[in-house]
Amino acid sequence: MFSNAHNIGQETLDTISGAALPLDGVYFLPDQIGVPSLHFEEWIKVLDHYWHEIHAFKLCGDLPNDPQARDIELFIQSLFRRSTSQQSERGY
């Protein structure tokens, strides 16, 4: 959970988050953006992989719990930075 210090609206979150995710607007590598890596209890190669998915960001009233105390804007900026870096590494 992230705070939303600048009250970014749901529509804006939907637009910018998809653009920020490095693979197909959905997938990311958690260790590259500072979030926990989640897996099944037992590693099953055909079911699990290193990429994680974000389907949507939703506004809620829950307390923030990001280990780095980022708000949603800073988190999305970290997605953009990593996405841009990966594109540069791949040459596009």
- So what's the pLDDT on residue 63? 93
Predicted confidence (pLDDT) per residue in 10-59, tens digit: 998 888 877 777 667 677 888 888 888 887 788 787 877 788 888 788 88
Any bridge partners for residue 3, and if so which? 71
- Write the DSSP symbol of residue 26: T
Q: Is the dihedral of CA 63, 20, 49, 88 positive or negative?
A: negative
Q: In terms of pTM, does the model score above 0.75? A: no
- So what's the pLDDT on residue 71? 92
Write the CB contacts of 45 (distance below 8 Å, at least 6 apart in sequence): none
- Of these ranges, 1-5, 50-54, 84-88, the one predicted with the greatest mean pLDDT is 1-5
- So what's the pLDDT on residue 89? 54
pLDDT at 92 over 50: no
